[in-house]
Each structure stands twice: as C-alpha cells, then as structure tokens.
Structure 1
C-alpha cells in the first residue's frame, strides 16, 4: 500500500466514524457510501457520496438534516439522497450513473439489512438487464473519449474522465459485475493506483477538487510522488493509461461475445459476427485481428507476427 493509499484509507475510516456518530442509533435507517466514497477512495478534494436509506419511517427528513448540515458546515462537498430501497432501485433503473454508483454501495452505519437488500437488489437489476446497461455503458465510454481524449497522448490529461483513466477501470468493474468478463487484473489495478495517486496529489498540491493535470502543476505533483519531473510523470501515466485503455476495450469485446453482439453494436452477417479479410490468413472479427479459419501458422512462421 502506498503512502497515499494509506491516507485514503485513514480518511475513509475517520469519515465513516464521524457520519456514524451523526446518525446515532436509529431503527429502520442505514447510511450507505456510494461512488468513490463507497470504494474507500476519499481524496483530499473528493465529494462525499452518501445515501440515507430508510424503511418508510416517519421523521426521516429530520434525521437527514441532522447529518447533512454538519457536513455542509465542515466545508465538505456532499452528494446526497434519501430513499427507500425500492426507490433507490427505481432511480438506478432509469439513471446509468446512479446504477454504477450503487455497484459500489458500502454500509457505513445503521441497519445493515437495508444496505444488504440494496446491494443485492442493485446487482440483480444490473445483471438482469445487462445487455441494455452495458450498451449504455459503452456509449458513455465513447462519449467520454470524444470529450476528454486519451490519457496516454495528452499533455494535460483528465485523470478521471480521459480514455484510459479511472472511469474506464470502473467500467471494467461494472462489466465484471454483470458476470460477462473478469474483474481488473493485477496490471490494471497497479495502473489504476498510479493514476489515483497522481489525482490524490493533484488535489493535495492545489488544495482543490481538480482532475485535469495542468502543465503548471505537473512538476510539483511529480516531486511529491517521488518522480524527477513532469515529463517523468507523464511517461508513467501514459503507460498506465495504455494498460487501462487496452483492458477496457478487451472487457467490452468479451461482453459483446458473451451475450449481446446486436445490443453492443457489433457488425453481424446472417446472425453471425462479420469476419473482414485484412491480409493473407488474417481477418478482423469483433474489433480484433485474428487468424483466418484456413490459416496455417505452423507452415508460415511470419504469420503470427
């Protein structure tokens, strides 16, 4: 665990303890962390993404005020909601970003049964409607790429939103939650930690909620991370971004193969994926270069290259 990861863990633990104290002992109520807070990734400038779950009891507004006002008074950025479990699931069915946040729901305080019901229900809904949800997720991924470019090739990348950034690892995790592809492997997790640490330090050195690594901050962020300068930092992030970008492409291709070629937009011909010739013995299928059926790599050693 890096120094910065330990700091995030400590900040999360302290925040959990604080919010649990604000809630107190209330039957039929649970405080749930979602999003980055749910993943225990509280950075110096992070929002607190919190859901107050209840079983329909009266007086929930007063309980909510007892929690929200001290958080606002502290200066923390708060993204909050008050819902029953059925309400939370209903909102998630109509809002992809809410659904993604609930995939990381984590119990903080109160009635753990409410949190368990929410987590199990959110996962059931996600898996039951996986074809539509993953198609939406891919559209969101492509929109982010158009808006924010590719982390590996930018002088001032957005560490969270650029292609190859944190959001793409969250996308891999969401695909894995639908049981159509594996969770991020060791290389992707290591790349994610590098990007997350850089974003953590960016918040720290600027004193602001900031995700775009602007030129004037790069040398200071690099030195805090123990790197020589901003160029060294960009090289490290470029490698991490390429690792993540390849992994998210692979995850989407696995999702397409597993159950939704039509839903995820893969070209089809007579009910089968289209195979497009590229060269002698080589075709393109599902966005990948593969050997043709008649290819004979044993007799053509150059073919694999």
Structure 2
C-alpha cells in the first residue's frame, strides 16, 4: 500500500512540474504569461497601444523556437527603477530599459541581451548651439547605436534668460541652478544622468546642489508640457524630445506657436548607448534569453513589428553583452556618489 502511495505521489509531482516554466532546468517550454515591462519615457497609454502588436509577434516568434506562450502581458511601469525592480524580483521576464537602468540593476539579476538601433539625426552635435537653427530636426538614414541628451530651455522668462546667456557664452552656475528643471528618474540616461555630467563638466556642480529646483517628471511628453505651460524652465531629454508628437502637441494642445523657435538647446551631452532589451535571470534561462533576442531581431524586420517599436524610435536590435555597458556602469556609479 505504501509503495502504491509513493508511486502515486511521484506521478503527481511530475505532472505538476511539467506545467511550470522555470529557468532551473526542467524541459518545459510552456509559458503561461510572458510579462514585458517598459519604462515611462512616453505616455503609458500611448506605449501600450503602440506595442500591442508585440503580443502576437512575440508569441509567433517564440513558437518557432519551440515555446508555447499562452499569454503576453505588457505594462508600463511607474518609474525607470520600477522596471529594473520588476526584472530583478522576477515579476517580469523582459524589460525594454535604458542602458542607465540596466547599469543600476546588472548585479541584481538583470541580464542584457540586445541593444536597439535607431536612425541618426540631421542635427547631432556636442555643441548645444548647433541645434538652434529654428528649423525642425529630422531623422536621416544613418543607423546608430547611440543618442545624445539635450538640455532644452523653454519659453518662460527664466528659460529665455538662460537661453540668451548660453548663446552669448556667458552661462554660469547661478543661471542654471536658479531655474526649475523637469528631470526624469535617476537611472534615466538623457533625462538625468548625462545632463548631470554635463552640469558637472561645465560648472563642477550638479543636480544634488540644486535639489530644491528639481521637479520629478514622468516621461518626456510631460516634460515638454511643463515647458509649454511654463511650469519648468529647463528640461533635459532625448535628442528627439521636440520631434513628432511633442511638436504637434506644442501647437494643438498647449496653444503655443512653434517648439523650434520658442525653445533653445543650451547643452548637448556625450553619446549615450541606446535602449536595451534585458531579461530577468530569475525567470529566463540562457536558452529562452537567446530565443527572446532572436524574436526581437526578427520582429523588428517586419512591417508590423517596426511600427510597434517605433514609439521608442527603435529601428532594429543587435546582440550585446554586459561588457558593452562598462561606460554606463561608471556613469551610474558617479551619479550615485553625488547623491
């Protein structure tokens, strides 16, 4: 009798284990709910609407690799750090996160598998004044794996005064430190970290020295809105922060005239490595990580996939390793030391 019970127990345990997906060595390739998280660099509703096709595309691509994905869930997290924490804790499989966020979590169970590629820009110079032509910037056909952060002064009285000083070449710490800055999360490359370095390089002081004038802002669309409404004087962000929807919203939603003539770039950062596709080591083994990498590379080559990732200005993906992010790690540690 005891022998029969033992056999029955073993059979039940095997049955249960076959219905689970873990990175710890079982042979199951069934994934009940593949969870993908994004950082809130854009409006959450826009991100989730634009990336909805990824659900079917990832399911199909992973099926080709032998995985049976029952469901794909997409969520825009409340902060860059929340996306990193989700991967670290194993509550998400995949995260599309900036290099700076990866650098903050690489030693907490987050593994990078891909870097995004993007089109270059017509205006792309380390000299901020080179961007102030009064004309719209636009993409060119160059394929690059970097972008720059730009520091944009808005139409407020203080913003215009700072822009004038920058144009004259007389910009001082007193000018920038007394302005209201709309900044992103501290692991955002173009919204915080590299602008913080730009400040330090130019004035030997940075964000921690003017905390009272920092306005935490969720997403670059919100930063542009705050500039337009003169709630902030300066906003750092992606080099395309004024392009596309923000330029349209500037006129149609915020009742302003022209984002290219009413704002000025007062500074441009060094090159920043593009966004990553990273995975949770808790949820994703090496075989699944390779399959996810191939899935994103393949789907980006389709018309539907290219449209789905367009909201982040990704044009494709290339495989990378942790070693490619040593620079991002150094920047992250430096910024952390100031805080």
Q: Give the TM-score normalised by structure 2.
A: 0.27
More helix by share: 1
TM-score under structure 1 normalisation?
0.29
